[in-house]
Structure 1
């Protein structure tokens, strides 16, 4: 079964498309190779609930001004799926502009503050040391050591309070029940929202139609098996959602076909895992030395940050599955090797 795309084109900047009763699709620009984010406005009685905020720059603020001026009621609630800048960057600004309350999981709220303040193993200085331990060196490492907090630039301010969302919680929005689904691997406690009455899943970054979600390991949790957590989260999602569910992702087009997309993502990551194993047969390899195996293209500093996190996540998976062994050289660099054929996973 292939994916079905009910909408061939996204909404124009500053406009919205109704994709299900009372659910409207917005698209905002991003200043990266991934150049957009989808946001969702849900009618909620006399007002509106907003899911995610967009990136904090003046062009996005200007588009929000157009959209807010066109609404027939106030934005009363703001749901942030996770702490990344394109999802949380304008939360404080939108709260000041609308008076909306913020709803998100504790893992995302607290991680946002840890990254913003460079504490608790989160932030640029911890990430630089993590990448050094995994073999990044020279000019590529120096760029991380001198760039400072990119997160603080992308998220100018953070809210000081919020309403906590937990797995299995219900949100009543315009008379419909939306269940909170917590996913792991992409971020600490990523929130997705599912409405059985409308058969709609707002998936955030957990399930995207064409690209693979970045799965990274933070310096604060260096041994995290983030890729396994992510794949397990997808499996649970595929087992519980109907085949015809309309998925509203943060990037790409809305689609139906949860099960084939989840199956394709499992296959994609297994292919990458096998490629890494094969690359560790002849000699031990560091994560930095394996970047070309996973990403066969030049990487700028921003892309290298995600690539290193993803490489470490895949290597942690393989080590904890017994498919690779880990050692630390005299220079303090972690390397991985495969001394025997991999075990077969079922």
Structure 2
């Protein structure tokens, strides 16, 4: 029998389920814990959601976008796998729209929203910040970091992605969860740990007397989440935050834990995965440093970071991730930043 090569990001992991649940259906991954999926209109075409059985209904973990199709699928789940019982609480792992999109709608129906303070504040601010065109600050930021001029010109004339397009309005008020707090969900006790890098104050929940982990996008198998440096926090260091979070979560990880991630499929082998999530970016930084033997702009740093061709649909994510890695090398003293005559930054290895 010919050996099958295991792709990076999957090696050393165990996947109890080969296939995800069909649309509108759910798989019971533990007693009283259901796994379902909602579609996304992008390359990563789904988000995982989970339901935890409560005495009079369910707690929903993450929500998908607020779209007509998503609402219909959630309605089918409520009528089917959820047995007609209400969604009483919604826990969102972080503020990104595929994880909080339907939360406001469910709140309006009476559900309690649980989130970290940063996740709720970021989401509510972004829902209210609707922009018909990119702001001058955003365009100047992208120009300074070296976005391709043709891409920048095209983006300047197009309506940018707005949270309000796919996130329901969020009512005032939420229930805060915080790092090291313990809470009860679905008859299980959970410890809240803090992720960072992909999203600030990303909640990761570890079952204290069991083997379940609600990993969100912090603990994905197979892929590493986007670590982007955006104009909302131009002096941030998402790569440094990510590496610190990996170190912070490592002591809580056990090989027998069943990780319920925000995308892909549930898996076991968390210590191995955390090590690879860290090492992916350490090696990427080393490749990028070598690439800077010749001075480069942010838009000229895709090759050492991404294994596939970056097309128009992925350009934005790739650009903001590339400059995040440049920023980290610069902060570490491993790259020197210089300003060209046109005001664009270039970076070279120190």
Give the TM-score normalised by the residue count of structure 1. 0.91
Aligned residue number for residue 9 of structure 1: 19
Q: 1:56 aligns with which of 66, 69, 75?
A: 66
Question: In the alignment, does 2:249 pair up with 1:237?
Answer: yes
Shift of 1:264: 1.5
Is the 8 Å Cα contact of residues 53 and 187 (structure 2) preserved in structure 1? Answer: no
Which residue number in structure 2 is paired with residue 208 of structure 1? Answer: 220
Match of 1:111 among 111, 122, 128: 122
1:99 to 95, 106, 110: 110
1:118–1:124 Cα contact (<8 Å) kept:
no
Aligned to 1:42: 52
Q: Distance in 1 between matches of 2:115 and 2:33?
A: 19
The number of equivalent residue pairs is: 335
- SS of 1:182's equivalent in the other structure is strand
Structure 2, unmatched stretches of 5+, are 1-10
**Secondary structure in structure 2 of the residue aligned to 1:293:** coil
Q: CA deviation at 1:278?
A: 1.1
Q: Which residue of 1 aligns with 2:4?
A: none
CA deviation string 1:150-179 (max 9, x = no partner): 122122423322111111122212432111
TM-score (structure 2 length as normaliser): 0.90
* Equivalent residue runs for 1:103-252 within 5 Å: 103-118=114-129, 124-125=134-135, 126-151=137-162, 152-252=164-264
Q: Which residue of 2 aligns with 1:344?
A: none
- Distance of 1:17 and 1:74 partners within structure 2: 18
Corresponding residue SS for 2:52: strand
- For 1:162 and 1:156, locate their aligned partners in 2 and report how far apart those are by CA, in whole Å: 15
**SS, match of residue 172 in structure 2:** coil
Whether the aligned pair in 1 keeps the contact of 2:57 and 2:87 (CA below 8 Å) is yes
- Structure 1 residues without counterparts, runs of 5 or longer: 340-346
Which range is displaced more, 8-17 or 171-180? 171-180
* Partners of 2:103 and 2:168 within 8 A in 1: no
| Structure 1 partner of 2:333 | 322
**What's the Cα RMSD here?**
2.0
Q: CA deviation at 1:301?
A: 4.3
Q: Which SS does the other structure have where 1:48 is aligned?
A: strand
